[in-house]
Structure formats: structure tokens, C-alpha cells
Amino acid sequence: MPRKLEQSFHVGLTPDRVVDVAVKLTRESHLASWSIRDLAGRLDVAPSVIYHHVGGKDLLSRSVVERFLQQIRLPPEDLPWQDWFRGALVNVATLATETPGVAKWILMHGPVIATAQPVLEAGLRVLANGGFGDRVNAALAVLLNNTMMSVSLGDDRRQHEDDGPRDHVTMMTDFSQEGASERLQSMRDDFVGAFAAGGAVAREARRAYLALVVETTIAGLESVLRPSA
């Protein structure tokens, strides 16, 4: 964090405490959903206190993403590249799903945070050892983007639950209308229905879908991009 964030600025309140509450607000809703006023209300201070001593929403969003990145634990690099990325990406996706909005932030801003560099460097080393040659950069981009875009889409849909045409319940209703083919009805019952159910059922559906995205991306890179395949 910047030097000014390392200083206490209010009795009983520290920059780390502010970021703690920002992370909690993000987990309860979405990184884009809360405001400085919301954060100040949780901390029982005026918004000007946070602006003056910590900064605005941009800086706080970056701090929330840093906290997310600090939680990432990577597998041993002596694993085959496929197994390494299965472990790493499922871990990243799970953590990102628990902190809605960080996936979109990373997609929009790129790897601009120093905390992300060890993760990226490890991924590049594993791909180089896996035989990707001069295609390591493209391979890593595909792996990360596919995973984070899937998480981001899920975050956005959860943000708009019970919001007219963008939620899964409405999608289920549309699939049920007269004239829907048996194939669409099957998709409704076997796939969309789990997401619309909410709770533990929806969480498991999201987890399984993210695992499928990771697995198919790995298989695609193996057959299309790896020169030695």
C-alpha cells in the first residue's frame, strides 16, 4: 500500500481496517456495488475521512484486489503443466467467486499489481517447461482470460438476480413458454435450472462449470497451441 496508508488516521481505525471492511462489503455484494459512503457508514466515520486519509474508490478497489491475490496458493512447479493449471486456476476461480468483481477488475486493468507478478511468472515458467516455446504468453493469456471471464460473467449475473430479463429465473420462464423445443426444455431442466435454484445448488453448478472451462481450455491448448503436441 502507499506510504500514507501505513499511518493510523483515526482513533481505533487503520488503513488495514478500512480495507478489511471494503473486502467484506465486496463479498456481500460486488466490488462495483458499494460506495465510499457505504464504507464510511460501516466504519462510522464521515466519507471525507476515508477520502482524505486512504483515497477514493479506485485505490480501495485496488487494495481489495491485492488482498485477493495474496490468498492465492500455487501448486508445486514440478507437476505436469496440465495438473499445475488445473490446481492453480480452480483455486483462483474459487477465491474470485468469493470476492465478486475482482475478476472483472483484473480483466479490465491487466496484471498491473506487483502482487500478481509471482503468479504470472510461475505460470510462464510452467508453460515453458511444458513445451510451449515462444507461445507461452498467448497460452497464459488464454488460460487466465477464459477462467476470469467465466467468473466475471457469473458475478454480473448474481449481481442482477431478481432483475428482470437478466436473471436465471426469468430465463427459466422463457424456456417454459409454449413452443419451446424439447432440447431447450432439457437445457432448462438439466443446466439452467441449477443456476436458478440459488444457494448451495447454484454454487455447485458454478463450481462445476468453472472446472469445465479450465479443463476444456487446457485440452484446447494441448491440441492447438503447444508446438510439441
Residue 62, pLDDT score: 95
Task: Give yes or no for a contact between 140 and 120, defined as CB atoms under 8 angstroms apart.
Answer: yes
Share of the chain above pLDDT 70, in %: 79
pLDDT, average across residues 181-187: 74
Residue 131, CB half-sphere, CA atoms under 13 Å: how many?
Answer: 11
Query: How high is the mean pLDDT of the chain?
Result: 83
Residue 223, pLDDT score: 86
- One-letter identity of residue 125: R
Of residues 7 and 191, more confidence is placed in 191
52-94 pLDDT, tens per residue? 878 899 999 999 999 999 999 999 999 999 999 999 999 999 9
Residue 2, pLDDT score: 45
Residue 161, pLDDT score: 53
What is the pTM assigned to this prediction? 0.80
Judge whether residue 14 has pLDDT over 60. yes
Judge whether residue 150 has pLDDT over 60. yes
